[in-house]
Structure 1
């Protein structure tokens, strides 16, 4: 497991705070096709160390020229726990496509493939309904938000860094515990993907993290590895909430 000392952790946080104000530097650490991959061991460690009841909180940093997601356990008061080491995972490219499987409540079974460059294609559907009658499912909505990030992320990051000096860009994310602890006994890993979600409060798109869990026990992207997205998005993926405050645009 990848770990940072407390000193490394604070350095990584400061590095991202500096990088996000310069678009040239942002381009060196972020590609819209990249993802974070959390192992089961990291999730178990996070849950054990975290004292907050409802949410985890993860910080974004830059370490060894890589954007990293740092698991930073909180106290009951919401402060970062001072530990000798913190788990983290780097932003990385997928080696293989991900198969997302969802059984819809009206018994239509659909299989999608989320390719390693984060584009989607529908492989199989038992029943095709007229588009106006087809509900927007959690899985399809998540994939659309991921594609939105893939297509628009660099324009978004450039505008935020140039016009707002990176002040409105994400530094930390609140993560509902259900996103990481769903079916904990069977989950081998969780893929964390950037997406865009519209905020009615700030009247603009915000970057977010979408969590997709592997419940088959196979290695990420391996043959037979199926990532299940349930109709209830709080179970297997959710839009994490970036930590306020944000300056309205």
Structure 2
């Protein structure tokens, strides 16, 4: 985690925009088996300023030629807001195993019929399977998207570079739900995924947020699912 001045922020954003068309640069920036660690203090910095249902995660390149993410608040018109200083996270190798958790609750509803003669005439039971609502992501789908990026991310860049460099993402718009609700001591390990978009009829990158205790300790976290899916790269969204 580090701090950028407004000028350093603008420089980092422009450096990524200019790097998107250079496949060799992209390969060097997107180190395999790497993640961003988004800490509680970074979320708190923008939480009270944000006026939208989304906040922005800007992609940048630091002076040290590291890929970075920069969380930025958004006003009520959806415009990215300026700050006096910007906190960023670098793309770093994942040093410890990361546990994805998902609690599934199955509901069994039993029904019986009592006749007018006060006798049981029928009984059955129905099983209702768990429903996963956005932005929570099913564990298997999250793993599939992350592994797809690891295996095919550079192929995606190569294809997009041939089609239209300007179509390669510069930032992600992220719903505040669940992220802004995180308690102190909880961080988000953030990584790229690759998943199919029914709207655009093609594979698109996603940012996948996995909540974990600070410093990836073995402390348990009580949560239905610790995996959140935000597939809103800009462009094309």
| TM-score range for the pair, normalised by the shorter chain length | 0.7 to 0.9
The answer to whether 1:28 aligns with 2:24 is no
Whether contact under 8 Å (1:102, 1:228) holds in the other structure is no
Match of 2:215 among 195, 216, 219: 219
The answer to whether 1:238 aligns with 2:229 is yes
Q: Deviations over 1:166-200 (max 9, x none)?
A: 22211111101114124x22552101110012112
**Alignment partner, residue 58 of structure 2:** 59
**Matches of residues 132-211 of structure 1 in structure 2 within 5 Å?**
138-161=138-161, 163-182=162-181, 184-185=182-183, 187-211=185-209
**Alignment partner, residue 69 of structure 2:** 69
Q: Deviations over 1:134-188 (max 9, x none)?
A: 9997111111111111111111122222x03522211111101114124x22552
> Partners in 2 of 1:227 and 1:27 — Cα distance?
35
Q: How far does residue 206 in structure 1 lie from its aligned partner after superposition?
A: 0.3
| RMSD of Structure 2 on Structure 1 (CA) | 2.5
**Matches of residues 83-102 of structure 1 in structure 2 within 5 Å?**
83-102=83-102
Whether contact under 8 Å (1:2, 1:88) holds in the other structure is yes
Secondary structure in 2 matching 1:69: strand
Gaps of 5+ in 1: 108-132
> Partners in 2 of 1:75 and 1:94 — Cα distance?
33
Q: Deviations over 1:57-104 (max 9, x none)?
A: 111111120111111212222222222211111111111101222221
**Alignment partner, residue 8 of structure 1:** 8
Report how many aligned residue pairs link the two structures. 211
Secondary structure in 1 matching 2:99: strand
> Partners in 2 of 1:208 and 1:153 — Cα distance?
11
> Partners in 1 of 2:223 and 2:210 — Cα distance?
7
Q: Deviations over 1:214-236 (max 9, x none)?
A: 2xx4522x3x14567735xxx75
Pick closer, same or farther for the CA change 1:68–1:228 going to 2, 3 Å: farther
> Partners in 2 of 1:154 and 1:77 — Cα distance?
34
> Partners in 1 of 2:130 and 2:85 — Cα distance?
48
> Partners in 1 of 2:223 and 2:230 — Cα distance?
13
